[in-house]
Amino acid sequence: MATNRKHAAFFVIGLSLWLCNPSFGQEESKFRQNQEKVDEELLAKELGRRNEGLVTQQAIAGVIDPETYFVGPGDALKLNFWGPTSEDLGLTLTVTPEGKLIIPTVGVVDANYKKLQELQAEVKRACAEKYDSRRVQVSLHLTKLRLQRVYIVGQVKTPGVFAATAIDRISFYVSEAEGFTEWADEAHVQLRHQDGTVDTLDMTRFYDYGELAQDAYVRGGDIIYVPRIVLTEQTVFVEGDLLKHGPHKITPNENLLDFLYRIRALKRTANLDAIQLVRGQQSLHVNILSHGAGNGIAHMPLQNGDHIIVPPIKAFVYVQGAVRNPGNFPFIVGYKAGDYAGLAGGVIESADFKGVKVIRHQTGKSEKGPNQEVLRGDTVVVPASRRTTIGQYLTFTAQAATIVLAFIAAKNTVDGSNSSSK
C-alpha cells in the first residue's frame, strides 16, 4: 500500500513539472541525443587510434623494385613534404578505383598501371608547379600493396576467382586452385590481359629449373588459362610409379631422360633399371643407372605415340610353401633364403629346408639353396620333403582304394540280394 502511494507521488510530481514546463520532455530527449553523439565521437576516436597502431603485414619475396612495380587502384602511398623547418608534412594517399592519385592543393595525377618510378617522377613535377622545389622537397613511397582479383580457368582442380597482392605470380594462383589436373598442358599456360595481349609461358621451366621469367606477375583482372593436352600433337603415354599417368606432350628432339626429369617421374621409389620404352611392336629395356647400351636408349629422342612404363621398386620378398606364416615380408639387404623362411615363422616338420628355391623377379629363373642371397621382389619357395610327399601319396592312394573296395562290396551285396529274391 505504501509502495503504491510512493509511485503515485512521483507521478504527480512529474506531471506537475511537465504542466509547468511543457519543454521539459523535449530538453530530456535533446540531452539524450547529445550524450549519444558524444559517445559515438569517443568511439570513433578510439577506433581510429587503434587502427593507426595496426601494421598490415604482407608477405613479399624481397624489396620492391620501383622500375618494375606497376601501381594500380588500391595501392597506398606516402607523400612527404620537407620545408624550411624540420616538420614533415606527410599525406597518406590511395589510388582511386579510377586509377587516379588525388593530391590536396596540387591536383589529380593519373597513376593507373604506371611503374612506381614513373609515378614518383610525375608527382614531383606536379608538386614543383605548386611549391618552390628549392625550398620544398617532395618524396613518394609505396606503403601498402593493393589486393586484386584474378581469374584462373582451364585444367586446374578448382577454377575460380582469387584475390592476392600485385606482386604475386602465376604459381601462387595455381596453388590456390589446388594445382594442375592430369590433362594440363603446363608448357603453354596463357596469361590474358585486359588490354587484349596474351603471354604464353612454360611453367615446367619454372617448376624444374626455377626460371622466374616463366612465372610472371599477374595484373588485376587478368585471366590465367591452362589449356588441355591435345592428342593430335606430339604426345607420349606414361604409366607406372608417378603422379601423373596418361598422355604428356613432348618438345622437339626431347629425349627420354630429359622427359622423365621434366614430368618428375624419377622418384626414389621408381625402379630406374627396369624402365621400358614401347615403340610400335618393339619393347626396349632402359637402365638409366648404367653407362652401357641401356643408358644410350635413355638419350634417344622420343617419338609421337611412344609408351613409357616406369615400374615401382619391389619393396617386399614373397615366401611360399612349407612355412608357418607364408606371405610378403620387407626386403632386407643381405638376407638369404633361409633368413626369410625364419621371418615366415620357420619351416614346418614336413619341409625340405635344403631344397629351398629363390625365384628371381628380374629373370624368372630359380636358384636352389637356403644360402642364396635374396633381392627385391624375389620369391622364396620352401618345398615339402620327398618322404612327406610319398607318404601323402600313399595315404591318398590307400583312402581311394578303401573307397573303391567299399563300393565293390556294396555292389556285390546288392547283386546277391537280387539273386536270392529270384
C-alpha cell at 202: 612454360
Equal CATH topology for 147-226 and 235-310: yes
**Model confidence pTM above 0.75:** no
For the domain covering 70-144, report its CATH number.
3.30.1950.10
- Residue ranges per structural domain of the chain: 70-144, 147-226, 235-310, 317-384
Which range has the worst mean pLDDT, 14-28, 316-330, 345-359, 373-387?
Answer: 14-28
Q: Chain-centre distance of CA 297, in angstroms?
A: 33
Packing angle of the helix pair 2-20, 24-53 (nearest 10 deg): 90
Which segments within 147-234 are labelled E, that is strand?
147-154, 160-165, 189-192, 198-201, 223-226
Is the distance from CB of 203 to CB of 171 less than 8 angstroms? yes
d(CA 280, CA 303): 10
pLDDT digits (tens, 9 = 90+) for 115-129: 999 999 999 999 988
CA 155 from centroid of its chain's CA atoms: 14
Taking residues 333-361, report their average pLDDT. 89
C-alpha cell at position 402? 578303401
pLDDT surpasses 50 at 405: yes
As a whole-number percent, the residues of the chain with pLDDT over 70 amount to 74
Identify the pLDDT of residue 57: 56
233 Cβ neighbours under 8 A, 6+ residues apart: 249
Q: What is the pLDDT of residue 418?
A: 55
On average, the pLDDT of the chain sits at: 80
What does the alpha-carbon distance between residue 207 and residue 202 come to, in Å, rounded to a whole number?
A: 9
* H helix or E strand, kind and range, residue 337: helix 337-343
Does 111 have pLDDT greater than 90? yes
In angstroms, rounded to a whole number, what is the distance separating the alpha carbons of residues 294 and 300? 11
The CATH number of domain 317-384 is 3.10.560.10 = yes
pLDDT in tens, 56-70: 456 676 788 899 899
Select the more confidently predicted residue: 190 or 244. 190
Q: The CATH number of 147-226 is which of 3.10.530.10, 3.10.560.10, 3.90.1150.10, 2.60.120.200?
A: 3.10.560.10
Residue 52 has pLDDT above 50, yes or no: no
C-alpha radius of gyration, the chain, whole number: 43
Do 223 and 151 contact (CB within 8 A), yes or no?
yes
Instruction: Report whether CATH 3.20.20.140 matches the domain 235-310.
Output: no
First to last CA, the chain: 129
